[in-house]
Amino acid sequence: MVKADQARTEAVAGEPVLAMRNVSFGYRRQLLLYDISLAIKAGEMVGLLGPNGSGKTTLLRLLSGILQPQQGQILLQGRALEQWGRRGVARRIAVVPQEFHVPFAFTVEQMVNLGRTPFISSFFGSPGKDDQAMVQDAMHAAGISSLADRIFNELSGGERQRVMIAMALAQQPLVLLLDEPTSHLDIKYQIETLELVKRLNRERGVTVVAAMHDLNLAARYFPRLLLFQRGIVADAGPAEVLEPGLLSRVYGTSVQVGILRGAEHLSVLPSANNERSEAQEEHSQARVHVMAGGGSGELAMRALADARIPFIAGALNVGDSDHTLALRLASEVITEQPYAPIAPATLEQVRSSLARVAILVLCPAPIGPGNLALLQEAVHASRRGLLVVVLAAGEHTQIDDKEEKFDLAALDYTGGEGKKLLEQLLQAGAMVVGSVGEALETVKRGIDSKKRL
């Protein structure tokens, strides 16, 4: 049985066993996950990271078919999840939840037997010899054969975790989804549990996707990490994802990342309180504000980051590619709900940021009714004497007055109001630059002159 299972896994190796295509999901009105695309290959071991409420558990529930996405598609072996049917999904995806509360005194063996449910006819079906063998095999693999007759509820947390994993194994899954498998355990059982998962991944080729709250354990056990903040902020190996600035912004607290003496993997530690963290320093030093959106700020933000000029970005909608990039590059990101117009509270954040910085870089984002208010803020700030650099749209490097005005108008989707505001901005002394390089020069000069003052 196990060998057949492996063959099943190998047959599809190379193509993703589980994939999400532009999946969005929200409870009631609040959008929780936005436009997620993701491919998980057979045999991979993927850790999901993100602060509480970032949507890790929701993502797992989407992958297991408990929740249906409002938009997009989830594919299991190249076929939409709904088409497999509940039973078909349960034969391929097993879920280990954070904790089971079982109201009856089931024995361990009875619990593991439940894992065979999707393979047994639900009407008067009873487990056959194959099922019995699978159950024994699963208990053996999880190292709980000696517990078979114990009552599940009377076991310790670590033992229960093993029983739940054995139960999932009895489903002969291609994919094992684990929801914070170590959150209730002390350190010995945390390691034991993850070693078990890793062994199953290596020996049986089970694809593993686990939501992890412990960054250190994630770094140690998962070769691929996905960092979540409503959308996927980073998708790479530990070295790239566990970057202090990125973690600080996503988790909202400053951290240090390093390699402890004698260890082979990265460690993440919260910064001591009395030390001024890198992030906080950046924050106080940031003298540039970038307004972007729809990918218009990409080049400018990368250029600023390369030049090691700290900047504040926003307000940006969750799911905007500029937002994802800003989370990686900017020292502070002012965030707005997906698709939502700029709310007054967010606008207040922008206003206070504009009061702090020396320069505003306005990227050629399309102007719609939703972000018109931002432009108004820019005009106010400019009239107060803030240096505003307007990055002109397109590839035009040759600027004469008329052409540039034409360009600005082309970005306006508000029926004239946006154009009017842009004109006011120019009247108030905003500089128009044609290229990112030029903008960077202007920013550098601007910072220097302000410093001299």
Partner 1 sequence: MKLATRMAQPEQRRGERRRWLFAPLAIPLLCLLLLVVIVLAVSFGSTAIPLGTIVQILLNGTGLFHFARQWDPSAELIVWQVRMPTVVGSALVGAGLAVAGVIFQGMLRNPLADPFLIGTSSGAALGAVIAFILPFDTIYGSLFSLTPVLAFAGAITTVFFVYAVARTDGHTPVVTLLLAGVVVNAVVVALQTLILTISPHAQFGLQGLFNWLSGGIAVTSWPPILIVGVVIVSGIICSFSFSSVLDALTLGEEGAAHLGLHVERSKLMLIAIASVITASAVSISGLIGFVGLVTPHVIRLLLGPGHRLLLPTSALGGAIFLVLADLLGRVVIAPAVLPVGIFTALVGAPFFLFLLRNSKREYRW
Q: Are β-strands 255-259 and 231-236 bridged in parallel, bridged antiparallel, or unpaired?
A: unpaired
Is residue 133 helix, strand or coil? helix
Cα distances (angstroms) measured from residue 160 to each of 105, 144, 174, 197:
13, 10, 22, 14
Residues 6+ apart with CB under 8 A from 363: 290, 291, 292, 293, 296, 297, 300, 391
Q: Compare residues 86 and 276 and give the one whose CB is closer to partner 1.
A: 86
For the CA atoms of 426, 428, 434, 437, what is the dihedral angle to 10 degrees? Answer: -170
Distance, CA of 142 to chain centre? 31
Q: How far is the CB of 102 from partner 1 (least distance, A)?
A: 6
Are the CB atoms for 13 and 174 separated by under 8 Å?
no
Number of H helices, E strands in the chain: 18, 18
Tokens of 218: 């994630």
Q: Compare residues 100 and 413 and give the one whose CB is closer to partner 1.
A: 100
Q: How far is the CB of 143 from partner 1 (least distance, A)?
A: 9
Residue-wise DSSP of 80-130: EHHHHHHHHHHTTEEEE-S-----S--BHHHHHHHTTGGGS-TTT----HH
State the first-to-last Cα distance of the chain, in angstroms, to the nearest integer.
77
Q: How far is the CB of 87 from partner 1 (least distance, A)?
A: 4
Picking from 78, 89, 92, the residue whose alpha carbon sits closest to that of residue 19 is 78
Q: How far is the CB of 329 from partner 1 (least distance, A)?
A: 38
Q: Compare residues 123 and 451 and give the one whose CB is closer to partner 1.
A: 123
Q: Compare residues 76 and 291 and give the one whose CB is closer to partner 1.
A: 76
- Footprint on this chain of partner 1 (rule: CB under 8 A): 61, 64-66, 86-91, 93-95, 97, 100-107, 109-110, 114-115, 117-118, 120, 122-126, 145-146, 148-149, 151, 153-154, 171
Q: How far is the CB of 148 from partner 1 (least distance, A)?
A: 5
Q: Compare residues 172 and 254 and give the one whose CB is closer to partner 1.
A: 172
Q: Compare residues 37 and 145 and give the one whose CB is closer to partner 1.
A: 145
Tokens of 338: 């997906």
Q: Compare residues 116 and 289 and give the one whose CB is closer to partner 1.
A: 116
Residue 395, phi then psi, degrees to nearest 5:
-95, 5
Q: How far is the CB of 67 from partner 1 (least distance, A)?
A: 10
Q: Compare residues 102 and 187 and give the one whose CB is closer to partner 1.
A: 102
Q: How far is the CB of 111 from partner 1 (least distance, A)?
A: 8
Q: How far is the CB of 151 from partner 1 (least distance, A)?
A: 6
